[in-house]
Structure 1
Amino acid sequence: MTVSTDSTTGGELVFDPYDYAFHEDPYPTYRRLRDEAPVFHAPADDIWVVSRHQDVFDVLRDDAVFSNRMGVSLDASAWNPEAHRVMSFLGLDGAEQSRIRKLVSAAFTPRRVRELTPEVQALTERYLERTFHANAEHGEADWIADFAGLLPMDVISEMMGVPESDRDEVRRLADLVVHREDGVRDVPQAGMEASFALFDYYGAMVRQRRRTSTDDLTSALVATEVDGDRLTDGEIMAFLFLMVVAGNETTTKLLGNALFHLSAHPEQRAQVLADPALVPAWIEETLRHDTSSQMLARYVVEEVEVGGVRIPAGAKALVLLGSANRDERVFTDPTVFDVHRDRAELSRILSFGTGRHFCLGANLARLEARVVLEELVRRVAGFEVHADRAVRVHSTSVRGFASLPVTFTTRGA
């Protein structure tokens, strides 16, 4: 189905994932896509956009037809058969994907994630002190600059074995990788240079671990062996790059989105602050209502019909996770943020994908969010997000904030 537009309220329908106005609020466009053109051909980028929950679910589960072999990025420069050299198993299918994921999973175990809990708690306490100090001095703090933009990268860096002295630079490079310039329909030059710099850094780190093993994930990846098979340096570097971009950025955005949306609902905010048991539901509803990862690309191996529409072989399909999580066919009052939403509904969110490519870092993201938000609830009596001064990140891959001014009222203050 082809319909073209530049309005979300009537007129022709346009889908432009690089448009800064779309980044501010993509959900009206998603609603129109689901209602008017659930499988929509966007001619400007020659992509087939899939927006309904059932169709998104089916596409994600069928990697024989909807392949990852060209990567998952909308950006033209990242769309190629060598994508796995940058994005690890996220750019592979079938046996190749299973091999890398199996080897990585042998090192990146649930136990290793659980064992990070004390480190996440310690970092949370350190950065909350910094945040509350800024709040006391200025009447507000920047939740992203003072907290959410720091902790996830530190957690991942700690796990990988990145020295504290290098973490600010690694964080800066990761931010550049996902940022998109207004009017540039691809990775900006600064983002490409940042990617090369990160690969150089991780390459040196892997070589160092081959010389001298340490107690970190990088050394575990170097040492991992399954049925006589080992990861190459390039495969380890690609996984580390995937972790620092996907794992860091999405968790930062999740933490920002969580405060932004709860603050907009004072009654629910009061309930959560009075009952820490609501924190897991707060996290899951944030993931549903405004997920960090909005869309993923797939290469169409053979002509296929989706939602009654034929998509040609060789096409680029784009599945909208953010739209699927707001589908009225699955979720009750989907535009409403509700921490009391039925668990059966929340179990159907697609924020971390589904099937063979379900996000390997989902448990880590949820762990970080739970530790952070439970500690926040324990220590604050209230908070107010200054939404009028919030600054959004502009990216085709993640949705969240570059700056989020918040005034906190600490307990006992």
Structure 2
Amino acid sequence: MSALVFDPFDYAFQEDPYPVYARCREEDPLHHDERHDFWVLTRHADVQQAFRTEGVYSNAMGVSLEPSAWGPHAHKVMSFLGMDPPRQQRLRSLVSKGFTPRRVTALRPRIQELTDHYLDRCLEQGSFDWIADFAGKLPMDVISEMMGVPEADRDEVRRLADLVVHREDGVHDVPQAGMVASLDLVVYYADMVAQRKRQPTEDLTSALLAVELDGDRLTDDEIIAFLFLMVVAGNETTTKLLGHALFHLTRHPDQLDRVFADPEGADLVVPWIEETLRYDTSSQLLARHLLQDVELHGKVAPKGAKMLLAIGSANRDDRVFDRPDDYDLDRSKDELSQLVSFGGGRHFCLGANLARLEAQVALHSLVQRVRQIEVAHDECVRVHSVSVRGFASVPVRTEAR
């Protein structure tokens, strides 16, 4: 058998990492990659334990594998995702006072309006690109409206966000274009924060400026970092979820027919979303900095090492999921409750409810309005990224009801 190589920078790995994950889970569940000097956990129990263990798996150097994104300044663009307690608790508590469940729930009518707007255009054409014409636009509009980004700026903000996560083949770091895009986004949000200070509005940016907790307030830099995190993590991952949902369902005709059989039958939309989150999650790998030695499976990952938590692998672990490589909308709720797509512990994704809400509105609307849908699977183009998995293009043909 060939040597086990775990290389997230390799385009072939990015196209399909699951065979490598499977070998790691069976042969080497605490794997050390000597070339890039990181360790990786691939089994569900180990990944889940890492999310929930305090004081060992640190976020303070960031969550990205690339050298230039790794270090004590990661919080400047990753907000509390690049922090440990007590800094993380303080910042997340303050942000949560602005980014409330009520604010998310109140977005539903507007998410529906935006969904209808883009679906109208797509269904008129009959043939369109699910990512470029719909799934790439809806989450960006939702996040942008929440923050207060004007409509005229949204295409450019999305272009910059795409550049931040794109990786060049054979380059083992953030490309120059990604670094420039990151700086451009920071400058853009700094201007937006300055505007809201002069003239407050009803958006999230103004709400974050107004937040106060026991006399403590968010600094401008903390607000800018959170807005950056939202546009990259919140926008990109939801786009990828919608792309995966359509790509995988249409490869299973029996399940596709069941989902689209009844225009009012929303029963299968939630299982469709949850199984997609499990089967091919948007966020595949998260890095941690070890504050102590970690001894597992007869090996020791030393204090100071970089550890990857392979979320995509954990969601395919047959110790937890029956027939994990099957895409199955009838998968039990007990199993689906074990998915780790949104992380866990104190870093559980703050935007999980928003992502699920957007996906539910978008996919339910699609089912209501479309009789048949075909995806040109061989023409779909994957995004190339070390940690985010999804499509840049998903060509579709539809027949409206």
So what's the TM-score if we normalise by structure 2?
A: 0.98
Report deviation, 1:122.
Answer: 0.5
Could you tell me how far apart the structure 2 residues matched to 1:335 and 1:188 are? 33
1:171 aligned onto 2:171: no
Give the distance between the partners of 1:131 and 1:331, measured in 2 at CA.
36
Task: Give the conservation status (yes or no) of the 8 Å contact 1:63–1:93.
Answer: no
The question of 1:62 aligning with 2:53 is answered yes
Which whole-Å deviations, capped at 9, do the CAs of 1:384-409 have from their partners, x for residues lacking one? 11110000000012111000011111
Q: 1:224 aligns with which of 211, 234, 250?
A: 211
Report how far residue 235 of structure 1 moved.
Answer: 0.1
Write the mapping of 1:1-400 to structure 2, written as runs, cut at 5 A: 10-135=1-126, 140-274=127-261, 275-400=265-390
Counting matched residue pairs gives 398
Where does structure 1 differ by over 6 angstroms across 4 or more consecutive aligned residues?
Answer: none
Secondary structure at 1:335 match in 2: coil
Unaligned runs of 5+ in 2: none
Distance in 2 separating the partners of 1:353 and 1:96: 19
In structure 2, distance between residues paired with 1:386 and 1:313: 47
Contact 1:55 1:307 in 2 (8 A): no
Structure 2 counterpart of 1:278, which letter? Answer: L
Deviation at 1:62, TM superposition (A): 1.5
Aligned partner of residue 86 in structure 2, secondary structure? helix
* CA distance, structure 2, for counterparts of residue 36 and residue 238 of structure 1: 39
- Hey, what's the Cα distance between the residues in 2 that align with 1:53 and 1:195? 32
Question: Does the residue aligned with 1:226 lie in a helix, a strand or coil?
Answer: coil
AA paired with 2:224?
A: M
State percent identity of aligned pairs: 64
SS in 2 for 1:94: coil
CA distance in 2, matches of 1:73, 1:304: 20
- CA RMSD across the alignment: 0.7
Please give the per-residue CA displacement for 1:253-307, whole angstroms capped at 9, x wherever unaligned.
Answer: 0000000000000100111112321100000000000000001000001112133
CA contact (8 A) 1:120 1:155 kept: yes
Q: CA deviation at 1:309?
A: 2.0
How high is the TM-score relative to the length of structure 1? 0.96
Give, in whole Å, the separation in 1 of the partners of 2:272 and 2:216.
Answer: 41
Q: Compute the displacement of 1:250 (Å).
A: 0.1
Determine the C-alpha separation between the residues in 2 that align with 1:108 and 1:409.
38
Q: Which amino acid aligns with 1:101?
A: R
In the alignment, the residues of structure 1 paired with residue 296 and residue 357 of structure 2 have an alpha-carbon distance, to the nearest angstrom, of: 36
Amino acid at match of 1:291: T
Contact 1:290–1:322 (8 Å) recurs in 2: yes
C-alpha deviations, 1:124-143, integer Å up to 9, x for none? 001111211232xxxx2100
CA shift digits 1:31-79 (9 cap, x unpaired): 0010100110001110001000000001111141010010000110010
C-alpha distance in 2, partners of 1:304/1:320?
16
- Could you tell me how far apart the structure 1 residues matched to 2:132 and 2:251 are? 21
Displacement, 1:86? 1.1
Distance across 1 between alignment mates of 2:158 and 2:2? 42
- After superposing the two structures, state which structure 1 stretch, 94-103 or 300-309, moved more: 300-309
In structure 1, stretches of 5+ residues that fail to align are 1-9
Write the deviation string for residues 76-105 of structure 1: whole angstroms up to 9, x where unpaired: 001001111110000011110000000000
1:192-227 CA deviation, whole Å, 9 max, x = no partner? 000000000000000111111100000000000001
SS at match of 1:229: coil
Residue type of the alignment partner of 2:64: S
Q: Secondary structure at the match of 1:210?
A: helix
Give me the whole-angstrom Cα distance separating, in 2, the residues matched to 1:209 and 1:227. 23
Q: CA deviation at 1:173?
A: 0.3
The residue number in structure 2 matching 1:6 is: none
Give the C-alpha shift of residue 146 in structure 1: 0.5
